[in-house]
């Protein structure tokens, strides 16, 4: 069964005549015709000067919303993407539209229960606990002055200036710059040549800019940086003692054992969350292998651009536009579309699979649960419930989200 529906609808007689009249009433206000005040030109004179065809575009816009509503009502179709609308014929007597409406794909699932997908049990090793303890200690590390040679991991406070063929180049100078050795933030080879230097040392560092460097004048060019080391700093990781526990400021954590238990519990919670997500992903992957679905390219295209829009918003939160990102990565929207196509198809397949299983199992959500969830989300985001509902897209969207989660819970219990 195809999910692409082509419907032809003709508008004529009184409805089309009214639309052309409305178009004339709108357009006549904007024209000046010799012998008449602006907006007062008779219709027969207007049409003689501009032609009745000049009224068709606005007339189409006047009738189209009503015609489209009528098409949906008569066909009982629910579009999943914006329809394509073509004007097949238009004259002073009628207009004929062709609507191409894409509806949800047909989903056929052979099996979705008892697939033999196993949920892994959470295990936390002593080594992982030790790593977590050290990771948290590292967060509380202080940068302190060091009287000695620069080592990997140290921070060197430097002045530097770059020269190409003996001439200083733009953007190659910095003063009192804190450079972490091993961070790979400078040109390859720069940081490693500072290892072994001490405070007040001056040295020349030769490096070659990489072939993908954005400045064509420096790409693949050998340059010399004159560097002065002002300070050397190292990370001082705190000892596990009373002072460290005070800095942590976590209730009842005042011994190494209590701290290790705390780290173990955090690791368990994180692993439980990760394994839960993996369990659900494996179930859906298993069901997908038992599912037949044909995704219309229009739907895939819309999903891809929805994903690009979301990614663009995340970039903006980091102070970067999508155009800037594309320039930095030397890619294009077309490249992104190709890269995201597989993930978009998977997202859509999983979404329609879950919706189909929800129908098959007659899974529904009661109104009281929807209202309760709305209140919970409002409290979580510190908003008024009605504001939260509007931001979420209405109670129906909250209900849909709950139904999807309820269906996933059903699949977890039955696999």
What is the C-alpha separation between 307 and 161, in angstroms, rounded? Answer: 42
Q: What is the pLDDT of residue 269?
A: 96
Q: Are residues 151 and 187 in the same domain?
A: yes
What is the C-alpha separation between 85 and 78, in angstroms, rounded? Answer: 15
Q: Are residues 94 and 231 in the same domain?
A: no
Q: Are residues 409 and 260 in the same domain?
A: yes
What is the C-alpha separation between 235 and 146, in angstroms, rounded? Answer: 9
Please indicate, yes or no, if residue 110 is contained in any of the structural domains.
no
CA–chain centroid gap for 39, Å, is: 49
Q: Structural domain of residue 81, as residue ranges?
A: 4-103
Overall domain count for the chain: 3
Q: How far apart are the first and last CA of the chain?
A: 30
| pTM of structure | 0.76
What is the C-alpha separation between 275 and 82, in angstroms, rounded? Answer: 38
CATH number at residue 98: 3.30.70.1050
Q: What is the sign, positive or negative, of the torsion defined by CA atoms of 36, 42, 44, 47?
A: positive
Q: Which residues contact 326 (CB under 8 A, 6 or more apart)?
A: 332, 333, 336
Q: Are residues 231 and 263 in the same domain?
A: no
Q: What is the pLDDT of residue 272?
A: 96
What is the C-alpha separation between 212 and 214, in angstroms, rounded? Answer: 6
Q: Are residues 216 and 262 in the same domain?
A: no
Q: Are residues 298 and 396 in the same domain?
A: yes
Mean pLDDT in runs of 10 for the chain (415 residues)? 88 94 94 83 92 96 96 95 95 96 95 94 96 94 92 95 94 94 93 96 95 86 96 93 90 92 96 96 97 94 96 93 90 95 97 97 96 95 94 93 97 94
Pairing of strands 155-164, 167-180: antiparallel
Q: Are residues 322 and 360 in the same domain?
A: yes
Q: Are residues 22 and 171 in the same domain?
A: no
Q: Are residues 223 and 173 in the same domain?
A: yes
Q: Are residues 199 and 63 in the same domain?
A: no
Which residue, 73, 103, 133, sits at the end of a domain? Answer: 103
Q: What is the pLDDT of residue 251?
A: 87
Which residue, 103, 134, 167, sits at the end of a domain? Answer: 103
CATH number at residue 345: 1.10.3120.10
Q: What is the pLDDT of residue 1?
A: 54
What is the C-alpha separation between 308 and 330, in angstroms, rounded? Answer: 16
Q: Are residues 199 and 274 in the same domain?
A: no
Which residue, 86, 103, 120, sits at the end of a domain? Answer: 103
Backbone φ, ψ for residue 287 (5° rounding): -65, -40
């Amino acid at each position: 069964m195809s999910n692409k529906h082509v419907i032809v609808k003709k508008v004529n007689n009184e409805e089309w005549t009214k639309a052309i009249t409305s178009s004339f009433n709108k357009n006549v206000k904007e024209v000046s015709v010799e012998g008449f005040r602006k907006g007062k030109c008779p219709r027969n004179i207007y049409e003689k000067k501009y032609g009745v065809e000049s009224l068709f575009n606005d007339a189409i816009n006047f009738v189209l919303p009503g015609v489209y509503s009528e098409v949906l009502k008569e066909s009982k179709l629910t579009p999943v993407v914006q329809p394509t609308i073509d004007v097949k014929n238009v004259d002073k007597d009628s207009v004929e539209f062709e609507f191409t409406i894409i509806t949800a794909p047909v989903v056929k699932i052979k099996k979705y229960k008892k697939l033999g997908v196993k949920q892994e049990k959470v295990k936390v090793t002593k080594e992982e606990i030790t790593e977590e303890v050290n990771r948290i200690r590292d967060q509380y590390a202080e940068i302190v002055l060091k009287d000695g040679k620069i080592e990997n991991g140290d921070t060197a406070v430097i002045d530097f200036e770059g020269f190409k063929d003996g001439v200083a180049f733009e953007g190659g100078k910095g003063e009192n710059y804190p450079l972490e050795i091993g961070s790979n933030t400078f040109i390859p080879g720069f940081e490693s040549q500072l290892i072994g230097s001490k405070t007040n040392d001056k040295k020349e560092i030769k490096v070659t800019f990489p072939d993908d460097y954005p400045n064509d004048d420096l790409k693949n060019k050998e340059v010399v940086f004159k560097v002065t080391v002002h300070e050397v700093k190292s990370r001082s990781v705190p000892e596990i003692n009373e002072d460290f526990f005070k800095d942590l400021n976590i209730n009842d954590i005042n011994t190494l054992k209590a701290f290790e238990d705390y780290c173990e519990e955090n690791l368990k919670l994180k692993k439980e969350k990760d394994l839960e997500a993996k369990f659900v992903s494996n179930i859906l992957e298993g069901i997908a292998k038992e599912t037949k679905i044909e995704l219309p390219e229009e739907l895939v295209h819309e999903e891809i651009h929805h994903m690009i829009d979301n990614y663009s918003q995340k970039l903006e939160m980091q102070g970067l536009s999508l155009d800037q990102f594309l320039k930095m990565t030397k890619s294009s929207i077309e490249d992104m579309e190709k890269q995201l196509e597989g993930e978009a198809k998977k997202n859509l397949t999983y979404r329609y699979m879950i919706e189909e299983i929800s129908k098959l199992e007659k899974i529904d959500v009661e109104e009281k649960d929807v209202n309760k969830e709305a209140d919970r989300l409002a409290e979580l985001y510190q908003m008024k419930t009605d504001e939260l509902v509007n931001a979420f897209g209405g109670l129906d969207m909250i209900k849909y989200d709950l139904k999807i989660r309820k269906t996933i819970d059903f699949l977890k219990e039955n696999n």
